[in-house]
Amino acid sequence: MENQKNNQENNQQPAENKPKDLIEPKKKSKNHRKGKPQKSRDFVYELSRLFKKNQGKIFSVKRIFRELNVTDGNVKSIIVEALEKLLEKGDVYMTEEGDIAANVKTEMAEGIVDFVNSRFCFVIVEGRELDVKVNAEFTKFAFDGDRVKLEIFPAKEGVKPDGRIIEVLQRKVQQIVGKLELGKFAFVLPDNKKIHQDIFIDKNKLKNAKNGDKVIVKIVKYPQEINTSPVGEITEVLGKAGENNTEMHAILAEYGLPLHFPQEVVEEAKLIKAKTTDAEIKKRRDFRNVLTFTIDPADAKDFDDAISMQKLENGHWEIGVHIADVTHYVKENTILEDEAKYRATSVYLVDRVVPMLPERLSNELCSLRPNEDKLTFSAVFEIDDNANVHKEWFGRTIIHSDRRFSYEDAQERLEKNEGDLATELIILNNIAKKFTEKRFQKGAISFETQEVKFKLDEKGVPIGIYIKQRKDAHRLIEEYMLLANKQVAEFIYKQKQKDGTPKPMVYRVHEPPVEDKLLNFATFARQFGYEVKTKGKEIASSLNKMLTSVQNTPQQNTLESLAIRTMAKARYSIETIGHYGLAFQHYTHFTSPIRRYPDMMAHRLLAMYLNKKEVEDVKQLEKQCKHSTDMEKKAADAERASTKYKQVEYMQILTKNENKIFDGVITGVTEWGVYVEITETKCEGMVRLGDIYDDMYYLEAEKYRLVGSRSKRIITFGDVVRVKVKDTNLEKRTMDLLMVK
């Protein structure tokens, strides 16, 4: 051991370092050593078995004691002697931190930390199919989202390898949202479930925050030693925890989304002139005398798309898809442009919209309000009654919307064939249905998940919950937007550069599902009697058949959600690899520039090519595609978090004065419990394994089920159960449930 001590001081190889928490045995007499030889050899064998069984895993010496169920100090000393023998033989090696692992060939890599819980994290390494599991004691104080250098240990095929983080290369978390707790010391308890350490705050830097306030904290010092907290400074006080406005702002801040526009952005928007000059109108195709209308949600204020239609002499229909010409107002190299580029998307929380553009633009200048002349960028098609496109035209236009329909207004006319423009809406709907039919024939997949909506009182408190209904009026508009997006993408793809390659474009792409994920889902769906094919064109048709059959069953939401998770996530890219879910070879986002920056990019590119200009910086396009994809994910996560918050709040109110029993469906099975979605409210909670008293259960992960050790009772994904609420935690947005027989 003395050699190892000297080597540590001389910075020798990690395998020769002395562990920090290795217990130095007391000096023993010769008789003492003679009395223990058999036990020492026994522990060499036990340790060898331990490392062979857990090859690739790292153990602190304290953990070795726990694994061998040893508490006696003298026996611990003998284990240390046994470890010395294994180190001398080279069967195990010692890390820089003094931890022990089997002496195997390891791999070095870089990756992004994804913290699962306080006990371990995964590191996502680009190019590796399986993530690397890192126990908390080997994370080197990395936080969720950090880029790290790590050592990866070998593992059996198909099993996630273990690893240890060597170095934090780049910190992602700079600010944290949480609740201030003031006592002898001040700490902020993070809202983010993936951050498992409280943040220490200097009491002299509270910025007038009071106990129980939600605050934003900037980390100024990360922990360097075990049992120490990161140190932070309060940068903003959001308000009292539990108040609706505070919590919505907290969710935005938690996901790194802006709470408000900088004043200079608002001021620049105010300076934009509303009046359209005659010179500008002359540059555009005039649709002001063509029947035009919008169809949007009843509470919408930003109308970024309109439909025009007129019958042609040959019996075909000229149908125009007119999109707000945002880039006419938002010029490149302006503060407004920079803000839109950074935000990349509007964010839709349960009680508010956080727009990408200031209201001066989103709700006024660019909103296609009825009875006003508006500047638009349009895709105009000549279409017959069988949904065949004969001609197309793209360019800047001016329109005058004759009518603003809500979805409910339009749906009423489609169903009753009564009211103004009912005939026109029915014609458009019939053509739209034929477009839908053609998409499905080509392999499109019909994903229509259930969307939870709330009725809120004036303080934002949920007083009702319902599922948003998608009807023909929604699908009608969707089909014409899909048509415009697809045709714009195909038009630009056909434009060639001097070297014969397609001109750069911002595409919306969607890869086919990974085969292993699809096989797992098919196996799971088969348990409910649904056959999902895993190869070729049959994948889409079998998925559609399942998604249709599962409608109005207890397992509908579960199977729909799992099917979506099986698919790859759509993203933005300058590489056109097609859109698998829509069965389009080329697809872009062109129809929502008020709320999505990639649509603004598509508008600019289309305008350039129509004017015979070229793109100068393709790399910048791809960089912005990635940023837009990242911001879209953050916005979706924030939306889900706000929904979850209101669901837990609603259940808290609903069960405040009564011990109500609910029907539910099991939506997830883990080693620590089962997730249950309550059928009545679509709220999800957890039944913890410790609260299932009738047996001891073990997890069969590949079969999505728990099995009782004694009774062999099976609790599995999709089971219909009865539950009651045990506890609700608004701060963590979680709900604990109990099963009821």
**Mean pLDDT throughout 5-23?**
37
* pLDDT score for 647: 95
pLDDT at 20: 38
Domain map (residue ranges) of the chain: 2-102, 107-170, 175-241, 264-445, 472-637, 655-740
CA–CA separation, 120 and 137 (whole Å) = 8
Amino acid identity of 67?
A: E
**Arithmetic mean of pLDDT, 697-718:** 86
Output the CATH code of domain 2-102. Answer: 1.10.10
pLDDT tens figures, 16-48: 333 333 434 334 433 333 334 344 446 877 888
Integer-rounded Cα Rg, in Å, for the chain is 31
Report d(CA 648, CA 728) in Å as an integer.
6
Beta-bridged to residue 108, according to DSSP, are: 151
Residue 449 has what pLDDT? 74
Q: What percent of the chain has pLDDT over 90?
A: 60
Question: Regarding the domain delimited by 107-170, which CATH topology (the fold level of the hierarchy) does it fall under?
Answer: OB fold (Dihydrolipoamide Acetyltransferase, E2P) (2.40.50)
Say if residue 8's pLDDT is above 60: no
At residue 26, the pLDDT reads 39
Rounded mean pLDDT, 677-688? 92
CATH number of 655-740: 2.40.50.140
pLDDT at 361 over 70: yes
Please write the tens of the pLDDT for every residue from 470-521: 899 999 999 999 999 999 999 999 999 888 889 999 999 999 988 888 888 8
Residue 335 has pLDDT above 90, yes or no: yes
pLDDT value, residue 42: 66
Name the residue with higher pLDDT: 223 or 399.
399
1, pLDDT greater than 60:
no
What's the CA gap between 393 and 386, in Å, rounded? 20
DSSP secondary structure letters along 249-296: HHHHHHTT--SS--HHHHHHHHTS--PPPHHHHHTSEE-TTS-EEEEE
Q: For residue 535, what pLDDT is reported?
A: 83
Q: Which one-letter amino acid corresponds to residue 381?
A: F
DSSP for 558-591, written as a single string: HHHHHHHHHSPPPEEESS---BTTTTBSS----S
Burial annotation 374-383 (CB, 10 A radius, 16+ → b, else e): bbbbbbbbbb
- In the predicted model, what is the mean pLDDT of residues 88-110? 79
**Interacting residues of 273 by C-beta distance below 8 A, sequence separation 6+:** none
- Scanning 364-421, the segments in alpha helix (DSSP H) are 407-416
Provide the strand spans (E) within 97-240. Answer: 100-102, 107-117, 120-124, 132-135, 147-152, 163-170, 175-182, 186-190, 199-201, 213-221, 231-240
Residue 386 vs residue 192, higher pLDDT:
386
CA 30 to chain centroid: 64
Q: How far apart are CA 96 and CA 100, in angstroms?
A: 10
Taking a C-beta distance cutoff of 8 angstroms, is the pair 434, 650 a contact? no
- What is the pLDDT, as a whole number, of residue 159? 78
* Contact criterion met (CB below 8 Å) for 449 and 443: no
What is the pLDDT, as a whole number, of residue 56?
67
**Among candidate residues 735, 741, 645, the one with its CA nearest the CA of residue 686:** 735
CA distance 305 to 484: 11
Q: 23 by DSSP, 3-state: which?
A: coil
pLDDT band, residue 189 (cuts 50/70/90): very high
508-542: string of b/e by CB count within 10 Å (b at 16+)?
bbbeebeeeebebbbebbeeeebebebeeeebbeb
pLDDT of residue 521: 87
441/452 Cα distance (integer angstroms)? 30
Query: 235: pLDDT confidence band, cut at 50, 70 and 90?
Result: very high
Q: Which CATH number fits domain 175-241: 1.10.287.3510, 3.40.190.80, 2.40.50.700, 3.30.300.130?
A: 2.40.50.700
Q: Would you state the pLDDT for residue 96?
A: 64
Q: Give residue for tokens 């949920």.
A: 462
Is the separation of the CB atoms in 389 and 380 below 8 Å? no
Looking at per-residue pLDDT, the higher value among 514 and 410 belongs to: 410
Residue 338 pLDDT greater than 60, yes or no:
yes
Question: What tokens appear for 333 in the block?
Answer: 């190299």
Instruction: State percent of the chain over pLDDT 70.
Output: 94
Q: In whole angstroms, what is the distance from residue 2 CA to residue 535 CA? A: 62
Task: Report whether pLDDT(272) > 60.
Answer: yes
What is the pLDDT at residue 72? Answer: 83
Average pLDDT, the chain: 88
Q: pTM for the whole thing?
A: 0.82
- Whether 199 contacts 235, CB under 8 Å: no
Query: Residue-wise over 407-423: b if at least 16 C-beta within 10 A, else e?
Result: bebbbbbbeeeeeebbe
Domains 2-102 and 107-170 share a fold: no
Give the Cβ contact number of residue 675 at 10 Å: 18
564-601 as b/e: b if 16+ CB within 10 A: eebbeebbbbbebebbbbbbbebbbbbbbbbbbbbbbb
| Rounded distance between C-alpha atoms, residue 586 and residue 489, angstroms | 6
Top-confidence residue, 47 or 282: 282
Exposure string (b/e) for 100-113, b if CB count within 10 Å is 16 or more? Answer: bbbbeebeebebbb
Q: pLDDT digits over 562-605, tens only?
A: 888 888 899 999 999 999 999 999 999 999 999 999 999 999 99
Q: What pLDDT sits at residue 7?
A: 38
Q: Across residues 183-208, what is the average pLDDT?
A: 91
Cβ neighbors of 304 (< 8 A, separation 6 or more) are: 323, 324, 326, 366, 367, 368, 591, 592, 593, 594, 595
Q: Are 461 and 646 within 8 A, CB to CB?
A: no
